[in-house]
Amino acid sequence: MEGVVNHLNPDAAGMDDDYPSRQIPHITSAYLEAVGRELGMRGVDAATSDMNRPRVMDSRSRDQILNTFKAIFSLQDILGAIVSDVNQQAADAERVIDRDLLMKWAEAAGKDGAFDAYSLYYDAERSSDYDGAPKKENMYQPF
């Protein structure tokens, strides 16, 4: 969503406090309110409580937000973010993805043979497929 806001509002980054509704965080709130639920995004409820968000959102503006999102959406970026999140090695790492839930999902998805549940884990025989290796204490966690 950040990319959409910056693309559609190139001057927002330099906006001062005289016009808070033209600043990136508040425009982001308006966009989340407009399309966030449809796109499965987090923070929609918080966005609707942003008192400085722009409130004029007609169907044309909403369509422009959706079309821009679809045009700049990158599956590679999403996959990279997921891998980066899962591969954090610190014991106290802040994660978006719960590794325990990911393992439970993989187990359920692998029961019919359509998904290899073990593909979530590091495979030393294919070490060249990875960017690094897990620490010893994380060897049995998704990587």
Q: For the whole model, what pTM was predicted?
A: 0.64
Query: What integer pLDDT is reported at residue 113 of this predicted model?
Result: 84
Q: How far apart are CA 24 and CA 11, in angstroms?
A: 9
Question: What is the mean pLDDT of the segment spanning 129-136?
Answer: 93
Question: What is the mean pLDDT of the segment spanning 6-33?
Answer: 94
Using DSSP's 3-state secondary structure scheme, residue 142 falls into strand
Q: How far apart are CA 56 and CA 26, in angstroms?
A: 13
The model's pLDDT over 80-131, given as tens digits with 9 standing for 90+, comes to 999 999 999 998 999 999 999 999 999 999 998 888 999 999 999 999 999 9
CB atoms within 10 A of CB 14: 8
**CB-count exposure of residue 128 (10 Å: 0-12, 13-18, 19+):** exposed
The model's pLDDT over 42-66, given as tens digits with 9 standing for 90+, comes to 999 999 999 999 986 788 899 999 9
